[in-house]
Amino acid sequence: MNAHDLLWGMTSGQLPSDAPAWVLEAINAGHPVVVRRAIAEPGQVAVGVRGRLREQRFATVMPLAAVQRRVVPEALRGVTSSRDLPALRALDLLRPVLAQEAWGITGSAGFELASGVQALHEHSDLDLILRTHERLERGDAEDLLAILDTAPCAVDLQLQTPFGAVALREWAGGSRRVLLKTVSGAHLVVDPWQAVA
């Protein structure tokens, strides 16, 4: 399981007793949970539950044995929607740009395209992930960012390296050190394609 994968099969009985009512509502409605970057006990996976509101995010764990279905971000590349929203128009615009890359859709757009549950609105960003096993040079990152910035909404693309994820916008920027998100937390690094010491 990787960060941003969507998992189905969690039950309300697997939630902690202090879970808010909206979390129970989402799980009882059959919504998927999203894998998050965190260390979990053997046999468990760290997940997050999404509510209807942006601030409704609940971190918990799910037993691996409960997983009935898994959708990875890459599986959503060809999924379309009849809804007319800036994030979905941006996606249509960027599909041919990213066609040769190992990319996928995360965030609200990924959640909606995978589950059919409306999660996007007029002001939603488009969240994408790009699997970069090999180093992406900063000049190439700047070129890609310039294309993303022509989209009809804000596009947040994460570069997934073998050691964690870094925001394309940050890697394309001028800072010598960038924030690499890993399962053990966030680290300021010079090279996101090097293991964190």
Q: List the catalytic residues.
A: 125, 127
Q: Which residues pair with 130 in a beta bridge?
A: 103, 159
Indicate if the alpha-carbon torsion angle 55, 58, 64, 68 is positive or negative: negative
AA identity, residue 83: R
**Closest-CA residue to 90 (of 151, 143, 168):** 151
* Other Cβ atoms closer than 10 A to 180: 25
Residues in the chain, how many?
Answer: 197
Place of tokens 């379309």: 80
